[in-house]
Amino acid sequence: ADLTVYVDPAGSDTANHGLSAAYPFKTLNRAEKSLPKITFDFQQVVSMSAGVFDQSYTPAGDMARPAILFPGQRLRRRRSAQNGSVLDAAIVYRGQGDTTIVRSNPVAGYPYGVYLTGAEAAFEKFKIEPAASGSTAALLTSHRTDYAHLSSVTIDGSAGAGVALGTIVEAGGSIEAINCT
């Protein structure tokens, strides 16, 4: 069935189940790991509260490209599409506008903000920016035949310490952006 998982920087990855706003996970990668690996007809939403997401549940050494949000290696058969003012997809990362911030954290070993690999995902209503210190590699990367569908996402390379590359599409990835800055 459709599923919504809640995440809040003040939540807990170990004590909470993420199935309600009262018991949210703390990190985006923990929320992503709680979702089923295979999705055909149902929608999974990661509901992101206002706040700054700059920590990861997954150790940096366990990721090929250490990122604060690393959705990937999931089989998804439902195509992403715009449905009125929101995105419809197998998985949607939905924020609260510019008050929801995904921020790289190169000092902690996460030089990427969002790194999509081996999946299709929709991203809406949040901001991606570099950390205040350290060398951010990229803010948003679509890699290996991925499809990233963005709506109302702000990619701000001028924030924090800055970044050389805001978005990267590599190895057959693709990004579709609607109403983005």
Summarize pLDDT for 108-157 with one digit per residue, the tens: 999 999 999 877 889 999 999 999 999 999 999 998 778 899 999 999 99
The Cα 146–Cα 109 span in angstroms is 24
pLDDT value for 134: 94
CA angle 135, 131, 172 (to 5 degrees): 65
The Cα 73–Cα 93 span in angstroms is 16
Least confident of 6-20, 21-35, 89-103, 159-173: 159-173
Measure Cα distances from 115 to 12, 23, 40, 74, 83 in Å. 23, 26, 22, 14, 25
In 49-178 the beta strands, taken as DSSP E runs, fall at 51-53, 67-69, 75-76, 81-83, 86-88, 91-94, 100-103, 112-117, 120-129, 138-143, 147-155, 167-170, 174-178
- Entry pTM: 0.92
The Cα 67–Cα 108 span in angstroms is 10
pLDDT value for 164: 84
Please report, as a single letter, which amino acid is at residue 44: Q
Measure Cα distances from 113 to 31, 42, 83, 99, 124 in Å. 16, 26, 26, 16, 15
pLDDT value for 77: 61
CA angle 127, 131, 134 (to 5 degrees): 155
